[in-house]
């Protein structure tokens, strides 16, 4: 089965649902409509007993530049039932294995969503960044919890406070990715691993993932809610207005008065 929306492609075959960012001309930046499509695709994959694995993938040169800023400013995620939060909650609690294939830049949620995936394969051109502070905002997707857990506090502080990118080998070292590959091979390897998982008993996959994550999920939900409240408040404050104004005007932001 193949479903096509303009910017998100959803294809299901042989027990694997593949969700593809398909907006390369806009660096796969994510709109509200795209978040809704991905949330719906996850809901359908969860309910479909024939689906055993979900794979997220982008292009060989870009995974995702994060939120589409123009769309984001027009439709900010005001409530926990907005498409972005619906997607994040679906992904965090998804009971079946989730694989990501990441080539090129993965910015903001393009990186934080990976902490909710079970396997991540990266092209050697991958660059991960979480520049929330640079936008006058705070972490999302429970990354204030998950990034320190995986990277250790000081590396997490460097990634979240400075917002500078780190690259594929560093991500491999800290355990964010399972393997680094040539970009042209990355999606193929992710699909091969998905096929291996799809051949296994679904009940065992679900129960094993549940046991690994059961103590973490309530904490993730609580942190995600707290981050969401802070994110929404900070979005209305002067620092974010200056950051987004500077982005739209193609200038450097001036935070000296905020």
- Structural element, H or E, at residue 181: strand 179-181
The predicted-structure confidence for 124-178, as pLDDT tens digits, reads as follows 999 999 999 999 999 999 999 999 999 999 999 999 999 999 999 999 999 999 9
Q: How many C-beta neighbours within 10 Å does residue 73 have? A: 16
Contacts of residue 182, defined as CB under 8 A and 6 or more positions apart, other chains included, come to 123, 124
Residue 117 C-alpha from the chain's centroid? 8
Report residue 214 as tokens.
């059961």
Residues 6+ apart with CB under 8 A from 250: none
**Where does residue 168 rank: exposed (0-12), middle (13-18), buried (19+ CB within 10 A)?**
buried
d(CA 95, CA 53): 10
Decide: helix, strand or coil at residue 210.
helix
d(CA 189, CA 15): 16
Q: Where are the domains of the chain?
A: 2-182+203-207
* Closest of 192, 213, 211 to residue 203, by C-alpha: 211
**Residue range 19-46, pLDDT digits in tens:** 999 999 999 999 999 999 999 999 999 9
Residues 144-155: pLDDT tens digits? 999 999 999 999
85, 198, 203, 229 from 80: Cα distances, Å? 5, 32, 30, 9
For the whole model, what pTM was predicted?
0.95
Contact 198, 52 (CB under 8 A): yes
How many residues in the chain?
Answer: 258
Q: What is the DSSP string of 70-107?
A: HHHHHS---STTSHHHHHHHHHHT--S-EEEEE-SEEE
E strands, the chain, are 2-4, 8-13, 16-21, 53-57, 98-102, 105-107, 119-123, 127-129, 166-167, 179-181
Q: How confident is the model at residue 78 (pLDDT cuts 50, 70, 90)?
A: low
Average pLDDT over residues 88-97: 98
Domain 2-182+203-207 is of which CATH architecture? Alpha-Beta Complex (3.90)
């Amino acid at each position: 089965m193949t479903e096509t929306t303009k910017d998100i492609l959803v294809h299901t075959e042989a027990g694997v649902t593949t969700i593809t960012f398909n907006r390369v001309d806009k660096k796969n930046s994510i709109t509200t409509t795209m978040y809704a499509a991905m949330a719906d695709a996850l809901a359908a994959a969860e309910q479909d007993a024939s689906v055993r694995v979900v794979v997220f993938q982008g292009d060989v040169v870009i995974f995702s530049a994060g939120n589409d800023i123009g769309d984001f400013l027009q439709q900010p995620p005001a409530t926990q039932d907005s498409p972005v939060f619906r997607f994040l909650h679906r992904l965090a609690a998804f009971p079946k294995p989730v694989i990501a294939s990441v080539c090129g830049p993965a910015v903001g949620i393009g990186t934080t969503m990976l902490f909710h995936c079970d396997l991540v394969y990266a092209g050697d051109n991958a660059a991960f960044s979480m520049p929330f502070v640079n936008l006058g905002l705070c972490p999302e997707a429970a990354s204030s919890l998950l990034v320190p857990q995986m990277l250790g506090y000081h590396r997490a502080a460097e990634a979240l406070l400075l917002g500078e990118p780190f690259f594929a080998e560093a991500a491999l070292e800290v355990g964010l990715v399972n393997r680094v590959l040539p970009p042209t091979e990355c999606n193929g390897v992710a699909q091969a691993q998905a096929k291996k998982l799809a051949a296994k008993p679904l009940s065992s996959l679900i129960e094993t993932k549940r046991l690994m994550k059961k103590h973490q999920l309530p904490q993730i939900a609580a942190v995600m809610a707290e981050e969401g409240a802070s994110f929404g408040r900070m979005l209305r404050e002067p620092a974010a207005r200056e950051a987004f104004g500077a982005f739209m005007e193609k200038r450097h932001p001036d935070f000296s008065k905020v």
